[in-house]
Amino acid sequence: AQTVTQSQPEMSVQEAETVTLSCTYDTSESNYYLFWYKQPPSRQMILVIRQEAYKQQNATENRFSVNFQKAAKSFSLKISDSQLGDTAMYFCAFMKSGNQFYFGTGTSLTVIP
């Protein structure tokens, strides 16, 4: 079975600082995809960044980047220059072949002015 673990239920960061959210997963698959989703208070789920497991290069999207360690099955999200609008719940997700997704329990991030 696939599992996704987010060990930090809550985190906070000062505005303009950098924060890293952790995610580990367990799978026997060799090809898969990893995602970070953001859920602001509006409740809408928004894709932040994605990573294909076959790619060694870490994905980057503006202020968001990942540290993907395939052997360690780790997929952390780094947010640089944190902004107030980054305050949200962040979910790590795993997708295997067949299009089935698995989500972690989420990390609630608060950006402090």
Residue ranges that bind other proteins, judged by CB under 8 A: 6, 9, 33, 35, 43-45, 47, 50, 52, 54, 91, 93, 95, 98-106
Q: Least separation, in Å, of the C-beta of 64 and other proteins?
A: 14
Determine the Cα–Cα distance for residues 53 and 112; give it in Å rounded to an integer. 33
Q: Least separation, in Å, of the C-beta of 20 and other proteins?
A: 19
Nearer of residues 31 and 113 to other proteins, judged by Cβ: 31
Nearer of residues 14 and 105 to other proteins, judged by Cβ: 105
Nearer of residues 87 and 89 to other proteins, judged by Cβ: 89
How would you classify the pairing of strands 107-112 and 10-14? parallel
**Side chain identity, residue 55:** K
Torsion of CA 86, 109, 111, 22, to 10 degrees: -90
Q: Least separation, in Å, of the C-beta of 87 and other proteins?
A: 17
* C-beta of residue 84 within 8 angstroms of C-beta of residue 26: no
